[in-house]
């Protein structure tokens, strides 16, 4: 069961990715990365985030806590950027947020590669959920307290955007594996 928090302060936009996530504070005194339901990627990206993120956690992979975050459109008044104001207003109500990992660093496979066992489990998991967005250019992995964390699963389950033929989609090979950031660690 996902917890629900009330967003009390919009701190700063991250200006990364298509969803324009933001760092927010909530009534539980936590800090979160908010994914707006009014962002261009739409509701299906948030559905993929929850399903893939919680499945990863069930499988023992490290994922920041996912919460539902209630957003008051009045928070837009304190934001000077009109585009962000519109995003906050269009996302009024329930949104999705992940626990913010302060001081985390973007993963670099050359600096401190994970063991081949963890790398294999992550590549396998990404194939299972058809995550097309974990590459050398966009690892969607963070290092926090000497531990690798999986983030941003909004591009997983991409097949559910069309659902023309679910059985065919299930048979397709995981083509994104060729560009997966961890594949060289699995095959070496």
In tens, the pLDDT along 127-141 reads: 999 998 899 888 999
Q: Which of 140, 137, 136, 158 is nearest to 148 (CA)?
A: 140
Q: Does the pLDDT at position 54 exceed 80?
A: yes
Segment (H or E) for 184: helix 183-187
C-alpha–C-alpha distance, residues 143 and 107, integer Å: 6
Q: In this prediction, what percent of the chain has a pLDDT beyond 90? A: 65
pLDDT score for 172? 82
End-to-end CA distance of the chain: 39
State pTM to two decimals: 0.91
């Amino acid at each position: 069961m996902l917890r629900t928090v009330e967003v009390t302060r919009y701190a700063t936009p991250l200006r990364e990715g298509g969803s324009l996530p933001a760092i927010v504070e909530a009534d539980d005194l936590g800090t979160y990365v908010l994914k707006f339901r009014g962002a261009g990627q739409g509701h299906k990206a948030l559905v993929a985030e929850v399903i893939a993120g919680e499945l990863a956690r069930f499988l023992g992979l490290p994922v920041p806590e996912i919460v539902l975050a209630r957003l008051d459109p009045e928070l837009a008044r304190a934001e000077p950027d009109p585009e962000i104001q519109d995003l906050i207003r269009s996302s009024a109500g329930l949104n999705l947020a992940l626990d913010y990992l302060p001081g985390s660093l973007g993963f670099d496979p050359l600096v401190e590669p994970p063991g081949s066992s963890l790398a294999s489990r992550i590549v396998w998991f990404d194939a299972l959920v058809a995550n097309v967005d974990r590459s050398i250019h966009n690892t969607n992995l963070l290092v926090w307290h000497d531990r690798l964390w999986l983030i941003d699963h909004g591009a997983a389950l991409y097949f559910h955007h069309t659902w023309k033929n679910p059985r065919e989609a299930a048979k397709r090979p995981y083509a994104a594996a060729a560009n997966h950031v961890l594949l060289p660690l699995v095959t070496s």
